[in-house]
Amino acid sequence: MRSYVIRDDILLFNPSQVLESRIFSYLLKEFVEILEEKSDHLLEALEPFKKGKNVNYRKLREILMLLTVKPLTKLETSLLESLLKRREVLIEFVEALYNFWREKHRFAVKRAKYTRTMKRKLSLEYEAIRIGENFEASVRELYRRIMYNLMGKPFKVMRQLPSGFQVIFLVDKLRSSKVERWMKDIPIVWGAVLRPPVIFYTRSNKRKGIFPVKEGKGPLEHFKPSEKNWLCFPIYVGKYFFLVFVQEEFLCHGTGLLNLFEITDPLEIGDRKPDGVVIFGIPERFLQEDEKRGVIYRMNDTYYAFVGDSPETDYFGYMKKITLTVHNLKVLEEGRLPVHGALARVKLKSGKTVNLMFVGDSGAGKSETLDALERLDEISEIRIIADDMASLAIENGKVVAYGTEIGAFVRLDDLPPGYAYHTMDRSIFMNPDQINARVIVPFGNYEEIIKPTPVEYFLYANNYTYVGSENERLVIFKRPEEALRVFSEGKRKAKGTTGEVGLTSSYFANPFGAVQRRKEHEKIAESFLKKMFETGVRVGEIRTMLGINGFEKEGPRLAAISLLKMVERGSL
């Protein structure tokens, strides 16, 4: 079991309660079973507690309880001689058990009726903080007492290691007449307390495939989440209202939503029907073969997305992308254009401001070019409106863009040196020791991203073409047909962020809705590009060279310099 979830009916406030809790029993048994599988030398510490081949866990816990109040040498037990002979391995065992606990994903769920009254709301949040601090102090105190009484001497260095809850969720009931009956039984998250640094380790770190879209009830014909081990995260994805149901073993991905999307105020839900529903962690046996990596069903004008509980889909990329795919399907239904790209408002020190949109699939160099641009001396400020997905609309005769996320899910390797440490207290880290390590960083406020932002530059991020001269780094198209061809081809050199390798192609660089509804998308994309040319939007291609060996940093920097010069000139 990777995730340990303590609910408010068994909150623990002192070392004795921790030791006597069911959660400690589960942890201890799991730890010993792993040692037995490996025939680990630490099993020697358990010899005094064995009857035949079986460990007497009750006796083991009794001795641990005694060690919270007395040194090993003063224990009154028939096991004393045997324990003294194994003092060193007992110390190792307790240290390893403590580290085993700290490697787990640790959550608490506290029920508290949501209120908008500031004083009451703050009181509930402070109470959650106090619960978290007390629990962490109790766990550390339990460890220190036992270790002190085993060693017979104090620690030379005291380390305040994170050992309590990583996240405390504040939950209430979902009160709405517009949702299905089973949804009302699932606790709904309205707030959370995070204990940084928040670091999670998942069983996968790449996403593969495209989510099929079907009609009907799908897995809901045979399975519905239950109150026992699911939580509901109400979020806004752009302007759309989503309910995301997460099985507790995958609460690390539910936590990631807190940094990426705006949490919905429960009182705003009222009788509002959700625009999208995501169910993450459904037993894989309820999914068909082509649905194993995620599937979306359309039922009664609402999209339902499902991701299974397999190790392969245990990656936040699946949570994020299936959610954004549902968003994009809704956008297309409204005749608007979903865009897989980054949108930023760039202010120069000269006072000039310009809105830039970069389009491209994962690893194309969108974020890297914006980062390189921000490092140039001529730049005063860059405000990110959309980091990965946006939608376009035509309002008052002009093309405007809307963001979807209040954060970014980015590769650690693509961030500036030291940036991850600078934001460690606010970020959520995923597999920081692996290739394609990721971090979820909050960057904006919801009110800003859902305001219409006029698009002035609409650029395809080409990461695969080598360019040696400055005038080739940024190409502005002369006709809509030329632009439509390049954007539709969606070429890029894969960087290992997905299961793809080499030079790949994805329609409009957007396998999240555009591919599934290509016929509708083609008509909408053509009309939007024509409108851009009619209204003076600069549509073109920026060569980031991010996919070319040796140009991972220099390529985006050179592209940023060329773009800056064009913006400063204000003309072609």
pLDDT digits (tens, 9 = 90+) for 311-334: 999 999 999 999 999 999 999 999
Question: For residues 348 and 398, what is the distance between their CA atoms, to the nearest angstrom?
Answer: 23
**Helices and strands counted in the chain (H then E):** 16, 28
Do residues 125 and 170 touch, judged by C-beta distance below 8 A? yes
Question: For residues 81 and 66, what is the distance between their CA atoms, to the nearest angstrom?
Answer: 15
> What Rg do the C-alpha atoms of the chain give, in angstroms?
27
Question: For residues 293 and 316, what is the distance between their CA atoms, to the nearest angstrom?
Answer: 12
Question: For residues 86 and 68, what is the distance between their CA atoms, to the nearest angstrom?
Answer: 18
Question: For residues 292 and 285, what is the distance between their CA atoms, to the nearest angstrom?
Answer: 9
Question: Is 370 buried (19+), middle (13-18) or exposed (0-12) by CB count in 10 A?
Answer: buried
How do strand 3-7 and strand 105-111 relate by DSSP bridges? parallel
CA distances from 197 to 161, 202, 292 (A): 11, 16, 32
- The structure tokens listed for 15 are 């070392």
CA distances from 564 to 349, 353, 378, 379, 388 (A): 12, 11, 8, 9, 22
Question: For residues 40 and 37, what is the distance between their CA atoms, to the nearest angstrom?
Answer: 8
> Does pTM top 0.85 for this prediction?
yes
Q: pLDDT digits over 251-272, tens only?
A: 999 999 999 999 999 998 888 8
Q: Which residues contact 542 (CB under 8 A, 6 or more apart)?
A: 358, 365, 369, 459, 460, 461, 462, 473, 474, 559, 562, 563
Of 323, 319, 163, the residue nearest 255 (C-alpha): 319
Do residues 233 and 254 touch, judged by C-beta distance below 8 A? yes
Where are the domains positioned within the chain? Answer: 3-151, 168-333, 337-406+443-569
Reply yes or no on domain 168-333 having CATH 3.40.50. Answer: no
User: What is residue 404's three-state secondary structure?
Assistant: coil
Of 415, 345, 343, the residue nearest 383 (C-alpha): 345
CA of residue 178 relative to chain centroid, distance: 28
Please compute, for residue 39, the number of CA atoms within 13 A of its CA located in the half-sphere on the CB side. 0
Neighbours of 366 (CB within 10 A): 31
Q: Which residues of the chain have pLDDT under 50?
A: 572
What pLDDT was estimated at residue 572?
42
Do residues 464 and 435 touch, judged by C-beta distance below 8 A? no
Reply yes or no on domain 337-406+443-569 having CATH 3.90.228.20. Answer: yes
Do residues 191 and 159 touch, judged by C-beta distance below 8 A? no
Neighbours of 569 (CB within 10 A): 8
Locate tokens 């990426």: which residue?
Answer: 260
